[in-house]
Amino acid sequence: MSDLNDLISEQLPGIIGGIVLLILILLVLVLTQGAKLRKVRRKYETMMAGSGVEDLETLLIDLKTQVDSVEDEQQQQRESVSLALNKLQMIKGNIGIKRYNAFSERGSDLSFSIAIVDADRSGVVITALYSRDSSYVYAKPVEAGQSTYPLSPEEVEAITLALQKA
């Protein structure tokens, strides 16, 4: 046992030096980590300032609730836009007009055919025939570019002109 005591006594300055060196290294690490922790704490306090919330968890829960409500509203707006687009396609907004002289012996280009159709080529064709003695107006329904009534070449041309503007 005395040999062990002698050995420890001989190595005691090296052991103490090693322990002191280890303590200094640990002290530097603690000071570095303390500085980093203070920096993070300042950023946290700056972030939380003015939010009216005590902790980060409550803030995140509030933000999640707000994001969910925004997503719900966005979904409603998408549905509204989709419905509006569907209705917009059904609007008879494509118009084509063809003016012509229906009675070549007298008159001028005062007769016309006007087609009012939607994107599905459904709508109406209105034809007005003018002569010096009388005027006539005809309306014909149009479904998929065709009518149950015979269409004149001018009416077909008016439908074609309306569809070109689509």
pLDDT digits (tens, 9 = 90+) for 10-29: 888 888 999 999 999 999 99
On whether both 149 and 115 belong to a single domain, the answer is yes
d(CA 80, CA 158): 33
Look at residue 6 in the predicted model and tell me its pLDDT.
Answer: 81
On whether both 102 and 119 belong to a single domain, the answer is yes
Per-residue pLDDT tens for 118-142? Answer: 877 788 999 998 877 778 899 999 8
On whether both 108 and 154 belong to a single domain, the answer is yes
d(CA 65, CA 18): 56
Pairwise pLDDT comparison (86 vs 67), residue with the higher score: 67
On whether both 65 and 119 belong to a single domain, the answer is no
Look at residue 27 in the predicted model and tell me its pLDDT.
Answer: 95
pTM of the model: 0.51
For tokens 């419905």, the residue is 83
Backbone angles phi, psi at 134, to 5 degrees: -160, 170
Question: Mean pLDDT over residues 32-44, rounded?
Answer: 92
Of 143, 141, 140, which Cα lies nearest the Cα of 122?
Answer: 143
d(CA 8, CA 4): 6
Domain with 35 in it: 1-49
Look at residue 106 in the predicted model and tell me its pLDDT.
Answer: 64
Q: Please tell me the total count of domains within the chain.
A: 3
